[in-house]
Amino acid sequence: SQQGEEDPQALSIQEGENATMNCSYKTSINNLQWYRQNSGRGLVHLILIRSNEREKHSGRLRVTLDTSKKSSSLLITASRAADTASYFCATDNDYKLSFGAGTTVTVRA
């Protein structure tokens, strides 16, 4: 079953702006991960946040997790053209990783 759902489905921003996307899920999780995919290629792991963590940073990425609302957000600051990609959240529950349909981000120069 598809556990995570990203919102919005698509996002278009100007280079230098911030991009925020959200992920909601249905059942309890061990952790939540965010991945990036460039145009039909393999997914690349961005960041993992455990269920007992509320916020995590990695470079220009900031992830929050609210287990009471069963939601997470990914913020990309100071976006670049190279950030153009699809972003997926994935919830981990006992080794079964469930992905959402993704948010497609386009960064305009």
Q: Interface residues with another protein (CB under 8 A)?
A: 1-2, 4, 30-31, 33, 35, 40-45, 48, 50, 88, 90, 92, 95-102
Residue 99 CA, distance from chain mean position: 10
Q: Name the residue nearer to another protein (CB basis): 22 or 98.
A: 98
Residues 9/29, Cβ–Cβ less than 8 Å: no
Q: Name the residue nearer to another protein (CB basis): 74 or 90.
A: 90
Q: Write down the least CB distance from residue 93 to another protein, Å.
A: 9
Q: Write down the least CB distance from residue 25 to another protein, Å.
A: 12
Q: Write down the least CB distance from residue 109 to another protein, Å.
A: 27
Q: Name the residue nearer to another protein (CB basis): 73 or 93.
A: 93
Three-state SS string over 3-40 comes to CCEEECCEEEEECCCCEEEEEECCCCCCEEEEEEECCC
Residue 82 DSSP code? G
Q: Name the residue nearer to another protein (CB basis): 81 or 101.
A: 101
Q: Write down the least CB distance from residue 81 to another protein, Å.
A: 22
Instruction: Give the separation between CA 92 and CA 30, rounded to whole angstroms.
Output: 6
